[in-house]
Structures are given as C-alpha cells and as structure tokens.
Amino acid sequence: MDRTNRADSHHNRPFHPAEIGLIKKVVDGAGERGIKASCCGDLAGSPAGAVLLAGLGVEELSMAPAQVPWVKHALSRVSLQEARAWSREAAELYGNGEAEKFLLAQLKARSVMLP
C-alpha cells in the first residue's frame, strides 16, 4: 500500500489484528529459515509500534532519526517478556484502534514519554 496515497489512507491500519498476525507469520517464517526480521517506517518509529514489533520477534527497526530517542526510551522501559505478552494481547483486540490504545496505556503506566 502506498501510505502517501490519500485515497488509500483509510486502509493504513498497522495495529489491526490482521496486520499483527501477518507480521507474526513473516517473523516466524524468517526465523525458521535463520533470517532476521526487520521493519522500517512509521510503525517501527512509534513507541507503541516498536514495542509491538519487538514482542512479535522483529530484531531490527529502522525509522526517521527524530523517532530514535522516543523508541529507544520506550524499549528501555519494557522487558522483552512484557513486549511479547502485550503483543499477544494486542493481537486479540478487534475494536477501533483498541490494540494501539492498549499498548499506549501499557507504556504510559511505565512512565514512558510519548511524542
């Protein structure tokens, strides 16, 4: 999908359970073949997205330089075990933006600074 195409912008829902499930399948498939999974872009550059991706097993993130401090701070406040648990729970939330809201609430409870 072209995220810059306004006509398709309503389809850009990276926290949708189907998207989370697809990312997990790709990460698991890569791992079975000894390949590191990486992700770049807006999802990797958001604190909630980075925690989600880490919990799904993504090992490398790429983002705009301005996002690095926010993501670094978030990942430093969350254990990998917590990120995995939160990612599993987020994958089960089907409401409008519920997965992202859940992850943001978890980060705020850990006093994570958000942009």
CB 101 within 8 A of CB 61: no
Q: What does pLDDT average to over the chain?
A: 90
Over residues 50-74, the pLDDT tens digits come to 999 999 999 999 999 999 999 999 9
Distance (Å, whole) CA 53 – CA 69: 17
Over residues 7-29, the pLDDT tens digits come to 655 556 678 888 899 999 999 99
DSSP string, 54-70: HHHT--EEE--GGGHHH
Over residues 75-99, the pLDDT tens digits come to 999 999 999 999 999 999 987 789 9
